[in-house]
Chain A
Amino acid sequence: DIQMTQSPSSLSASVGDRVTITCRASQSISSYLNWYQQKPGKAPKLLIYAASSLQSGVPSRFSGSGSGTDFTLTISSLQPEDFATYYCQQSYSTRFTFGPGTKVDIK
């Protein structure tokens, strides 16, 4: 199975900060990489699909890049509602895998 890693596992940031989260796949997954946001007690929400496409309704401060094995999620100016856990997920193989998550909290 394809293994996904994320870094950092957690970070503390302030409102207005630029935040970057990295996701790495154990083998090339082309652009089959998706990003989700999850708040406590809630279902995950799709932010970015196919590595860099913004899901409808998601603010433009979220962006994704990368292909092959290395990917990034960037929040250009962190807002209070962005404090959450972020997961990457590959949909390249028939058996999907998620990264372990990155928790973004308030500094």
Chain B
Amino acid sequence: EVQLVESGGGLVQPGGSLRLSCAASGFTFSSYWMSWVRQAPGKGLEWVANIKQDGSEKYYVDSVKGRFTISRDNAKNSLYLQMNSLRAEDTAVYYCARLGFRLGDAFDIWGQGTMVTVSS
């Protein structure tokens, strides 16, 4: 079964850090672009970051640039999001999503999401 499982969410104080993980199974992880998408409580979807199959290209939404880092370990079939200097507005459910062979593809597989709460 094709599956993405996120972990690492939780409560963190403003200015703090958190590292999210996404474990992939049931497909050849190293063949796909991967992404993080978030959704603040009661709000719409917001794309956060993309990473190419070999990690050589990364793209971020402006609001997280310089604070968040997307990475992957193809040997471990895992995707990561290192989040630093967290702000209240980063509070959201964070989804790991499979993008496709090409950057222009769609998000065809999603994880169940992990909640990140930034609050003092």
- Decide if B108 touches A96 in the complex (CB within 8 Å): no
Considering the chains assembled together, what is the distance between the CA atoms of A34 and B45 in angstroms? 13
Please provide the chain B residues from 48 to 73 with a CB less than 8 Å away from any CB of chain A in the complex: 50, 59-62
- Decide if A100 touches B44 in the complex (CB within 8 Å): yes
- Decide if A94 touches B103 in the complex (CB within 8 Å): yes
Q: Is B112 in contact with chain A by the CB < 8 A criterion?
A: yes
On whether A101 and B111 interact (CB within 8 A), knowing A46-B106, A96-B50, the answer reads no
Q: What's the minimum C-beta distance from B20 to chain A, rounded to whole angstroms?
A: 15
Q: What's the minimum C-beta distance from A21 to chain B, rounded to whole angstroms?
A: 14
Contact with A along B83-112 (1 / 0, CB 8 A): 000000000000100000001111110111
Considering the chains assembled together, what is the distance between the CA atoms of A36 and B108 in angstroms? 9
| Residues in chain B near residue A97, CB distance under 8 A | 47
- Decide if A44 touches B59 in the complex (CB within 8 Å): no
On whether A43 and B44 interact (CB within 8 A), knowing A32-B104, A49-B106, A91-B106, the answer reads no
- Decide if B107 touches A46 in the complex (CB within 8 Å): yes
| Residues in chain A near residue B111, CB distance under 8 A | 43
Considering the chains assembled together, what is the distance between the CA atoms of A1 and B113 in angstroms? 26
Q: What's the minimum C-beta distance from B67 to chain A, rounded to whole angstroms?
A: 16
How many A-B residue pairs lie within 8 Å, measured between CB atoms? 58
| Residues in chain A near residue B103, CB distance under 8 A | 91, 94
Considering the chains assembled together, what is the distance between the CA atoms of A38 and B97 in angstroms? 14
User: Chain A interface mostly helix, strand, loop or mixed?
Assistant: loop
Considering the chains assembled together, what is the distance between the CA atoms of A59 and B119 in angstroms? 42
Q: Is A95 in contact with chain B by the CB < 8 A criterion?
A: yes
B residues lining the A interface (CB < 8 Å) = 35, 37, 44-47, 50, 59-62, 95, 103-108, 110-113
Taking A1-B62, A36-B107, A95-B62 as given, write out 8 further A-B residue pairs in contact, using a Cβ cutoff of 8 Å, ordered by the A residue number.
A34-B107, A50-B106, A95-B61, A96-B35, A98-B44, A98-B45, A98-B47, A101-B44
Q: List 13 A-B contacts (CB under 8 A).
A: A36-B45, A43-B95, A43-B113, A44-B37, A44-B107, A46-B107, A49-B106, A55-B106, A89-B45, A89-B47, A91-B105, A91-B106, A98-B44
